[in-house]
Structure 1
Amino acid sequence: MVITLERFSYSGLESYKKCPAQFKFRYIDFIRKPDEGIEAFMGKRVHEALEFLYKEVQSGRIPIIDSIHDYYKSIWNDKWHNRIAIAKRGECKEDYFRLGEDCIARFYRKNQPFAERVEGIELEIDFKLDGNESYRMKGIMDRLDHDNNGKFEIHDYKTGKRALSQSQADSDGQLALYQIALEQQRDDVKDVTLVWHFVRYGIEIRSKRTKEQLQLLSESMQKRIDEIRLKEKEGADFPPKPMILCNWCYYWEECPAQQGTNPYIR
């Protein structure tokens, strides 16, 4: 069997780093599960609500917070299904719905009147590390701002519990990879700022990268891709790494480190 992956994503490569077995189940064996964690479900709906907000802004309209909440409620109800799991004991669907509402309200208050020059929303990107076809990457920018003078901001919305510290943001790879893509595909880039919005807390973290840092990141991603391809070619194991995050994993039935279905998911 030859690996069929033509493009890699940052999240996929991070999945391999955390648990090679989970990476294999999802990206090589293509085992798709109908299950979804409620944290991920809520995060997607918040992203869609913020996408709706900025599309309105791009059209010259600034919606009131109630209309964004109405949109959020509508897509929450439309996309809810019976395979959404809650792993954390003592919490329910309504708790996460309200958490999403709070995230949206907090972001709205912090960022109005939305005067940013937004160039793109939910932009799909496809690029090559060092221009090499063997290292094709893909991703989605939540938002790209541009002041029309060569200064860009790459924005990412995070709904999870963990907010990065400044030092963690300065070494994080996801948005830096998007900067590599931006600089590769445009010739008008003079300055790039990476911006994380931790919407649970109303925290915004900004960071920049040097050319040397971007090159080191590119090389480390290429090395990880080479490792994955070599393992697959040689039929080597993709071993599981048991950890607390297993409580949120849907591959217990396939995983040699587990037995049966995941008892933490209900």
Structure 2
Amino acid sequence: MLSLSPNLTEIVVALGARDRLVGVSDFCRAHLPGGELPRCGAAVNPNFERILALHPDLLFFLGRMEKLQRFCAEHGIRARSVNIDRWASLRAEIARIGAELDAKKPSAKLLDTLNRRLERVRADARGKKRFRCLILLGRETGGLRRMMSVGGSSFLSEMLSVAGGDNVFADQPQPYFTPSNEAILAARPEVVLELRPGEKLSASERAAILADWKAPGALPALAARGRVLLLTEDFLMTPGPRMIDIAEVFRSTLQRIAEADAPSPASND
């Protein structure tokens, strides 16, 4: 079996089928449980020669990749397209992959665990102050230009909502888009969550990134209050089983902000 997407690889591993993998995507984590596996490109640029050399009988990939599907059909490889963009689709695909791998019991157990964790996050956020949040996925280096954000149909917006935050662009239908700086200012975010998954930022690099937000015309008041957060966990853009980890990171981040805003006991005397 071969997986050409990190989130699908994580599902296979979480279902206890790591030993059935013969190859993975170039974008999978550098250190997979159980040791390294051959890298076979990705769905958009698969390494067909390497795939053939590994003799997989099953290949998982994201979306509709007609060239890849034709290749699999020509060489007798079962191709399974998977689509995950929300919590509901993650649950459905875990069940479907579990059935494909004859792992229905592990998939049911995994889904139960994920459901329980998500409900704990939801319960922890219930009744707490909600924050209007801007999620950023990327921008030009050295300034606030060409900033990529998320709309309401993104799994990131959904996990933020569970965690007690409200996406300032929740009314945008597209999952990912580039808002103007004027639109960002007009949205009046209370918190900026700048996602930089996997980046190992030094203190000076963090300071330089945050300095961009202190410039005139940016959001200096938020930066001064510590409301611009750089999140670097490597799973933040991977809509797989660790989607719940994303909700937990969002929740703990918003909880820290709420605690920092709370008046000290001395101020109530």
TM-score, length of structure 1 as denominator length: 0.32
**Larger strand share, 1 or 2:** 1
TM-score, length of structure 2 as denominator length: 0.32
Larger-gyration structure (1/2): 2
Larger RCO (CA under 8 A, 6+ residues apart): 1
